[in-house]
Amino acid sequence: MTTSSSNSHEGYARYPSLAGRVVLITGGATGIGASFVEHFAAQGARVAFFDIDASAGQALADTLGQRHNLRHKPLFLACDLTDIAALRAAIGDVKAALGPIEVLVNNAANDRRHTLAEVTPESFDAGVAVNLRHQLFAVQAVAEDMKAARAGSIINLGSISWMLKQADLPVYTMSKSAVQGLTRGLAKDLGRYGIRVNSLVPGWVMTEKQRRLWLTDEGRENIKRGQCIDAELLPEDLARMALFLAADDSRMITAQEMVVDGGWA
């Protein structure tokens, strides 16, 4: 399997409509979310991001500000997105600091493995809270400003796990399949105001966490058999699709599931 990874943005698309645009990314301290933060900031957007990992989040904001000589250093706020009151307060802080939010990337999730027998009512509620519930309430908190602007892009992160009938993730796969329904319903509700809502659906993205916790020789063989393209799927592959969905270039794309998985699902 070939690997292609680079933090360079040279040779890839620039989106003038993203310059100065206020972008909020949830779960942005590490993994796919961190790539979202980097790529939007490199486009000149005013990026805010949330994460429960305060040290990693602040380190990313500081590092990006120093590395890229950004016009707008990313704003990091520590936030537990399962606490809806805290989520609403943090979104209010972003608005106060940067202005109305024009792009929302609902990225935060946790794909912790769990069997059906292990699920309790408490773990079920916790799984839905971290993988689905905050997406709706984040949209609710930004929608009025987007309505006033008659514009906006909301990107909800899904997963191909449920499409592949992946085992040992019942609450996660249930939550991620529900993202598709949430996206399509919201697209109809908000489209009349010029707001676009799409799902960005990753395959198995080779983040540091995935390599450390889940990737085995068997997993590599599954990827090789499943994907049409024999290369590792990387966080930046998702970030570049998110840029397109956030930019004016995709102004008539809404209610869609944009699958980035190397052709697996």
Catalytic positions are 172
Q: How far apart are the C-alpha atoms of 42 and 47, rounded to whole Å?
A: 10
Place of tokens 């999730």: 109
CA atoms within 13 A on the CB side of 29: 17
Q: How far apart are the C-alpha atoms of 135 and 141, rounded to whole Å?
A: 10
On whether the CB atoms of residues 196 and 154 are closer than 8 A, the answer is: yes
CA distances from 172 to 100, 128, 143, 168, 177 (A): 31, 7, 26, 9, 9
CA atoms within 13 A on the CB side of 77: 23
What residues have CB less than 8 Å from 261, skipping those under 6 apart?
160, 201, 202, 203, 204, 227, 233
Residue type, 33: G
Q: How far apart are the C-alpha atoms of 55 and 78, rounded to whole Å?
A: 9
Place of tokens 């489209």: 191
> Which H/E stretch holds residue 184?
helix 170-191
Residue 58: CB atoms within 10 A of its CB come to: 15
